[in-house]
Amino acid sequence: MLLLHCPLLLLLLPLGSRPQKLPTRDEELFQMQIRDKAFFHDTSVIPDGAEISSYLFRDTPKRYFFVVEEDNTPLAVTVTPCDAPLEWKLSVQELPEEASGEGSGDPEPLEQQKQQITSEEGTELFSYKGNDVEYFVSSSSPSGLYQLDLLSTEKDTHFKVYATTTPESDQPYPELPYDPRIDVTSLGRTTVTLAWKPSPTASLLKQPIQYCIVINKEHNFKSLCAVEAKLSSDDAFMTAPKPGLDFSPFDFAHFGFPADNNSGKERGFLKPSKFGRQTSSKPRVDLHKVCIGNKNIFTVSDLKPDTQYYFDMFAVNTDTNMSTAYVGTFARTKEEAKQKTVELKDGKVTDVFIKRKGAKFLRFAPVSSHQKVTFSVHSCLDAVQIQVRRDGKLLLSQSVEGVRQFQLRGKAKAKYLIRLKGSKKGASMLKILATTRPNKQSFPSLPEDTRIKAFDKLRTCSSVTVAWLGTQERNKFCIYKREVDDNYNEEQKRREQNQCLGPDTRKKSEKVLCKYFHSQNIQKAVTTETIRGLQPGKSYLLDVYVIGHGGHSVKYQSKLVKTRKFC
């Protein structure tokens, strides 16, 4: 894949093919090779610092090779799944003796090069399974033959790969600001106004950045590649070729690259164009993408009242056409004027969004007589105010932070009006459940103190020991860890305290363990855990999730810990 500034080359070959020796790294010849379509078709060469697109058939693995000729070479490899999860791993093996010599300046015949690289399995360096944009980074990689294996088990799909030997200077992906969230600043019946902080790549480095907004009713997206796959006229990146036919994943006309010889001024960056194949299918109407230039505020219009929408923002470097995703958000448009309240259904959890300083009204009218009614509220972010009136009489007025449950005396044919008032700090999100069945509890029970305690005396260079409180109810607890920078502070931690985001939003590599725990003696309802395998002198953010019987999870307060540097 890699060719310039450092001796690295990535060769994309199907399984069973043998990789090739590095061609020359001469800049003039390199530019000629990019323009020569036949060169790509035959050798599947990807230059250093270029993001490429490729295709996977379901259950058909694909293998990539690239060579690092010198020790202590920086290396960064990024894999972006598009419309299906991927399984991929990176491994390395020793270079064949013939492949480690100096380039002569003239590329050898392709068939001779193919004889010089072995097909043996190497030592695994990294593996991942999922649909996140994941990467491998090393500041000092050994020389060797690197092998990248990918597999899609769900369906035929496409993906992107980017690799470079100069990750510090390249930085093709736009950088996110310190607060990468999208703020909902105004909410109407048919409009939503969004605002976000500009990318430092535009504001500080003065690189050409444009912002693209994606709106849909289903879910948030993790990459612009996934959005484009959904927007395409078919589920596949292109019409999949039939087995047995000659198929090159680097046929530019089929994979978004221009067919002409304009390779661009930037080193190795190939700008995509529209797909070459046309189909008769109609585009999906429930997903919309609009690019708005370098503005950092935008009003989405022509929405439906009382409808929940998901909003994603992508910063796109217009020179490289590479993008980075902001943290997506969601919002429900206001109801029509005649619909002033949301009807709650008995035993069903309802998601509620409230704009800053705003209020939302809900109504609960049990269909049968009842002795008691229970309201369970889970505030995702800051505290919200709740008031409950029964037939006009005020029964409850409380501030709710985290998970709270209120049980009120019932009355035949009673109707309950719930008023929720948002925080002054920003928009509020919460989940609420109303039921006349006392055993219907979708949210797990929580102790009064949801802090995680770290034992300083038990810290080592590779482990930390923590404890947290449980309850008398048997629940499942899962603990996750994530390495953070040393300058990570309480303000950053506060911005990530969305308690409604469950373990399903975390990377599998961050999971430490899950276990069940409870104690009939509430004074002894405490559990400890030692997290091992950490790096010396590194900071980690620890999260504990408690998962109730209904499947809903609640996150404890995050804990920032740091291992000892010397032991």
Predicted local distance difference test score (pLDDT) of residue 281: 44
324 and 206 within one domain? yes
Tell me: do 409 and 456 sit in the same domain.
Answer: no
Residue 185 in this model has a pLDDT that exceeds 90: yes
Q: Is residue 207 part of a domain?
A: yes
Cα distance from N-terminal residue to C-terminal residue, the chain: 41
* Residues contacting residue 374 through CB under 8 Å, at least 6 positions apart: 405, 406, 407, 408, 433, 434, 435, 436, 438, 440
Same domain, yes or no: 467 and 405: no
Query: Which of these ranges, 69-83, 237-251, 313-327, has the smallest mean pLDDT?
Result: 237-251
Could you say which of 320, 337, 354 is where a domain stops? 337
Task: State whether 215 and 361 are in the same domain.
Answer: no
Is residue 15 predicted with pLDDT exceeding 70? no
48, 150: one domain: yes
What is the SS3 assignment for 226? helix
156, 197: one domain? no
pLDDT band, very low/low/confident/very high, at 488 (cuts 50, 70, 90): confident
Q: Which helix (H) or strand (E) holds 309?
A: strand 308-317
Q: How far is the C-alpha of 546 from the C-alpha of 363, rounded, in Å?
A: 29
CATH code of 514's domain: 2.60.40.10
| CATH at 61 | 2.60.120.680
Contact between residue 328 and residue 220 where contact means Cβ atoms under 8 Å apart: yes
**pLDDT at residue 551 in the model:** 76
pLDDT tens track for 524-544: 889 999 999 999 999 999 999
| pLDDT, tens only, 436-469 | 886 766 778 788 888 999 999 999 999 999 999 9
pLDDT at 336 exceeding the cut of 50: yes
In the predicted structure, residue 103 carries a pLDDT above the cut 50: no
190-239 per-position pLDDT tens digit: 999 999 999 998 777 778 899 999 999 999 999 998 898 888 744 433 34
Kindly report the pTM of this predicted structure. 0.45
Distance CA(34)–CA(111), nearest Å, equals 19
Which of 293, 311, 337 is the C-terminal boundary of a domain? 337
- Comparing CA positions, the residue from 86, 92, 93 lying closest to residue 125 is 92
Read off the pLDDT of residues 359-391 as tens digits, 9 standing for 90 and up.
889 999 888 778 889 898 888 888 889 999 998
Residue 252 in contact with residue 312, Cβ under 8 Å?
no
The better pLDDT of the pair 11, 471 is held by 471
The count of domains in the chain is 4
Residue 209 lies inside a defined structural domain of this protein: yes
H helical segments located in 194-345: 200-203, 224-231
Looking at the fold, whether 131 and 76 belong to one and the same domain comes out as yes
- Cα–Cα distance measured from residue 43 to residue 50, given in angstroms and rounded to the nearest whole number: 16
Domain check: are 530 and 496 in the same one? yes
pLDDT digits (tens, 9 = 90+) for 128-153: 998 888 889 888 888 888 888 889 99
Domain end call among 170, 187, 202: 170
My answer on whether 184 and 154 are in the same domain is no
The domain containing residue 151 runs over which residues?
Answer: 38-95+123-170
Do 177 and 166 belong to one domain?
no
Mean pLDDT confidence for 547-564: 86
In a domain, 258, yes or no: no
Mean pLDDT in the chain? Answer: 77
- For the residues 482-492, what does the mean pLDDT come to? 79
**Closest residue by Cα to residue 325 from 460, 132, 512:** 132
- Position 337 scores a pLDDT of 65
Pairing of strands 157-164, 359-364: unpaired
User: Is residue 7 pLDDT above 60, yes or no?
Assistant: no
Instruction: Tell me, yes or no, whether 388 and 493 share the same domain.
Output: no
User: Do 291 and 405 sit in the same domain of this protein?
Assistant: no
Q: Tell me whether residue 20 is in a domain.
A: no
- Percent of the chain whose predicted confidence (pLDDT) is above 90: 29
User: 396-423, pLDDT tens digit by residue?
Assistant: 999 988 788 888 888 888 899 999 988 8
Among 475, 430, 468, 438, which Cα is nearest to 558's? 468
